[in-house]
Amino acid sequence: MELSITLTSFTTIILSTLGIYIAVICYTRMFGKRSFSKMSSFDFAMTVAIGSIIATTILSSSVTLWQGVVGLLAVYVFQLIAALLRRYPLFQQLIDNQPLLLMHGEKILYDNLRKARVTEGDLRSKLREANVIEFHEIRAVVFETTGDISVLHCSDETKELEKWLLKDVAEN
């Protein structure tokens, strides 16, 4: 393990970092903020790929700045294409996970917890995070396509959950 750095490699790292940083800013401005959203698992994969390309471009002597810039461009373009194709139901089914209902009102759907590999402890944690203090407040808990858990709740027991909010959520 080498613990020293030469002036040349130091300068190369700084210039590569600046170049790839500018490329990320430019591409994000061109392709939009969606590039770093976490609306689908594909978006998350894009973010990981960008991080990997940035790190490799900055720290690997075998990858040039221009190769990193072109690699980034390719990832941004593919993400844009996938985002456009997600408008078509067939492609959306291929690329996206389906949200899964974990609780329907006060009822915990244990089979769905197992499918999502979410423990009761995870569920309790998310309910606390959402400031739920009584079960009757819960209208639905959804395991989203991104792996996030959404808690839909209201303290007014007479309020019904808008059906549109659960339109694409699998119940089992």
DSSP state of 160: P
Consecutive H or E run containing 142: strand 138-143
User: Residue written as tokens 């002597």?
Assistant: 61
pTM to 2 decimal places = 0.73
Question: Which domain covers residue 72, as residue numbers?
Answer: 7-93
21 and 77, same structural domain? yes
- Of 93, 119, 139, the residue at which a domain comes to its end is 93
Each of the 172 residues of the chain gets a pLDDT tens digit; together they read 777 889 998 999 999 999 999 999 999 999 987 777 777 777 788 889 999 999 999 999 899 999 999 999 999 999 899 889 989 989 888 888 889 999 999 999 999 999 999 999 999 999 999 999 999 999 999 999 888 999 999 988 888 888 999 998 998 7
Whether the Cβ atoms of residue 37 and residue 148 lie closer than 8 Å to each other: no
